[in-house]
Amino acid sequence: MATQQSRSAARLMMAPAVVLLLGWMLVPLIMTLWFSFRTYLPLRGGDQGWTGFDNYVRFVTSSAFWPAVQTTLMIVLGVLIITVALGVLLAMLLDQPMWGQGIVRILVIAPFFVMPTVSALVWKNMFMDPVNGLFAHLWRFFGAEPVSWLSDAAMPSIIMIVSWQWLPFATLILLTAIQSLDSEQLEAAEMDGAPPLKRFAFIILPHLARAITIVILIQTIFLLAIFAEIFVTTGGAFGTRTLSYLIFQRVLESQNIGLGSAGGVYAIILANIVAIFLMRIVGKNLDN
C-alpha cells in the first residue's frame, strides 16, 4: 500500500525507537547473563571469576527459594481470583442502568491511580495497624481481639491490598468488553427462552472470555513484579518474600550479584512464559 520512497522514510522514522528498545533490552540482559555465571560480591572481594552454573543451582537449592515461589504463586493466584471474580460482577453491575453511573465508575476506578507506595502505607497504618487502625476499631466494636494483620496474617493482607489496587483495572476492562456485547444477542437469547442465569453462562461469559484472558495475562506480568507493596509493608518478612523480592534482596541488600542475577534469569524466563501467551492473543488481534 505504499511506494518505495515512503517505505524507506518509514524505516528511518522507526529506527530511533527500535534502536533504543533494542539497547534497553540487550545490554542489561547480556550483563545479567554474564554476572549470573560469575561469583561477584562487590563488598566482599569483587568479581571472583567464573562459577559455571553454581549460582543457578544455589539459587534454587537455597532454603529461601521454594517458599518464595510459593509466596509468589499465592499472591498471583489470590489476586487473580479475587479481581477477576469481583471484576465480572462489578462490571455487570456497572453496566446496568442507574443514576450517577459516571460518578460510581470514577469511585471504582480511583484505586488504580493511587501510587503503590501510598496505597501500601495507607493500608498498613490506617487500616491494618493493630492499635489505631480502622480494622482494630471495628474488631473491638464487635468485641473481638484486634489482629496484627501484617505479621499474623501477612499474606491475606498483602493479597487484599494488591487486589484493591488491581480490581479497578479488571473491572474497567471487563466493563468495556461487556459494553461491546451486542444487546440484540441478549434479546435474541431472551426470545429463545433463556433465563438470566443461562444468558450469563452462555452469552455473557463466553463474550468476556477473551477480555478475561487478557486481564489474567497482563495482571500476571505485573503481579510477578510486585515490589513497592512488599517493600513498604513487611519488607519481605512474615512469609511475604516473593521471588522478585528475594532477587532484590540478593542483589541490593546482600550484594551477591552473581546469585541475584541467576535469580533474575529465572524471573525473566518465568515472565516470558506468560508473555508468550499474551503475545499470541495480541498478535491475533493485530491481524484483523
- Within 20-59, the residues that bind other proteins by CB under 8 A are 20-21, 24-25, 27-29, 31-32, 35
Q: Binding residue for other proteins (CB under 8 A) from 44, 57, 66, 101?
A: 101
Q: Shortest distance, CB of residue 16 to other proteins, whole angstroms?
A: 5
Site string for other proteins, 261-280 (x = CB under 8 A): x--xx-xx-xxx-xx--xx-
Min. distance of Cβ 66 from other proteins in angstroms?
18
Q: Which of 4, 61, 63, 288 binds other proteins (CB under 8 A)?
A: 4
Q: Using an 8 Å Cβ cutoff, are 55 and 37 in contact?
A: yes
23 or 57: whose CB is closer to other proteins?
23
Is residue 237 within 8 A of residue 153, CB to CB? The reply is no
CB 203 within 8 A of CB 181: yes
- Chain centre to alpha carbon of residue 137: 31
Is 188 a binding residue for other proteins by CB under 8 A? The answer is no
Q: Which residues pair with 41 in a beta bridge?
A: 46
Residue ranges in 62-91 that form contacts with other proteins under rule CB under 8 A: 90
Q: Give the H or E element holding residue 131.
A: none
* Residue 3 binds other proteins, judged by CB under 8 A: yes
Q: Is the Cα dihedral 49, 50, 56, 57 positive or negative?
A: negative
Which residues between 143 and 162 bind other proteins (CB under 8 A)? none
Closest separation in Å from C-beta 198 to other proteins? 18
> Which element (helix H / strand E) includes 46?
strand 46-50
CB neighbourhood size of 193 (10 A): 7
How many residues in the shown chain lie near other proteins by CB under 8 A? 111
